[in-house]
Amino acid sequence: MEFEIKEIRDRSAWERFLLTCQEKTFLQSWNWGDFQENLGFKTWRLGIYQKGSGIAGLSLVVKVVAKRGSFLFVPHGPNIKPEIKNQKLEILGVLLEKLRKIAEKEKIDFIRIAPIWERDQKSKEIFKKLGFREAPVHIHPEVTWLLDISLPEEEILRRMRKNTRNLIRRAKREGVEVFQENSQEGVEKFNELYSITVRRHHFAPFSLEYLKGEFSAFSKEDQIAVFFAKHQGKLLASAMVIYWQKIGFYHQGASIVSRVPAPYLLQWEAIKEAKRRGCQLYNFWGIVPEVKTTEDLKNPKIRRHPWWGLSLFKMGFGGYRKEYLRTQDLPLSFRYWLNYLVERARKFRRGY
């Protein structure tokens, strides 16, 4: 088969193709590209065309400029038409040729791809044949927790951990109120709780500008909601959830320490909202990579992981683990190795 690369400028064509893909996240959506551009990043929306048969795959590419080395980044892509997944090596090779040309023109030090491909030996070999190596860190989740929400609400509740189900009911009994405030003011209110969460857990936060930009990009088509849980007039928890192509994504969350289990009821209401919007799947985003079942969370080593508590919370709602191929890097200059050392050191300091 022969493939060629063309830039796609038609939003509807881009989104229509993604509807045909089973494995996908909003990081390859048209709106995510708009969001990156509004943040000041240069982007390319590349279509991989099979001659005589239309789009075979696509890839959003973002240029990231940093002092330690600039890179082209493909977040959770490329997406490939399911019928020709056996042509992955050829398709990725054609895409890589284009990325190398862009990299030369843009003075890029390396190419980074976070593929949303199964983590199997065949996928690893494809990237290895093209000269890639595993990245020292990941930018977006490589292991996620998913929940099938095509089932009736009663069945979803039944499949939860007993403790999670009880905490949802307790929050209701104690009078927790969950509501949405889908506005820039709502994002500012979310950020107040988010700042408290950052101080408690010591992680690198997104800026208010970033959060507002994400909301703006997806609110144009009513693809995002900002949830709040309130008890006796006090805000206890909040979440920003993206609803895109029949999938709900729990992307941003915040809460304060309280005896009242408000986050559990909030999350359940976000899941129910996903069902109302016609979603079939709910994506809780990242969990501790080493965890396969809730039993693994009892491991003393895993309990020390910064994401332990959050993983326990997410997995309590039921569902299953999905593991993608590790993020892949293609070094293009000596500056890549400076970046490699910096990222390795940061990963060590953060404890994961």
Per-residue pLDDT tens listing for the chain (352 residues) = 589 999 999 999 999 999 999 999 999 999 999 999 999 999 999 999 998 789 999 999 999 998 889 999 999 999 999 888 789 999 999 999 999 999 999 999 999 999 999 899 999 999 999 999 999 999 999 999 999 999 999 999 999 999 999 999 999 999 999 999 999 999 999 999 999 988 887 777 899 999 999 999 999 999 999 999 999 999 999 999 999 999 999 999 999 999 999 999 999 999 999 999 999 999 999 998 888 888 888 888 888 887 788 899 999 999 999 999 999 999 999 999 999 898 888 777 665 5
- Residues whose CB falls within 8 Å of the CB of residue 207, separated by 6 or more in sequence, listed in order: none
Cα dist. 3→21, 89, 120, 160 in Å?
19, 12, 25, 46
- With CA atoms as reference, report the closest residue to 59 among 89, 87, 19, 18: 18
Q: What is the number of residues in the chain?
A: 352
Question: Distance between CA 282 and CA 243 in Å, rounded?
Answer: 9
| β-strand partners of 249 | 242, 283
Question: Distance between CA 48 and CA 60 in Å, rounded?
Answer: 11
Looking up tokens 């791809």 gives 113
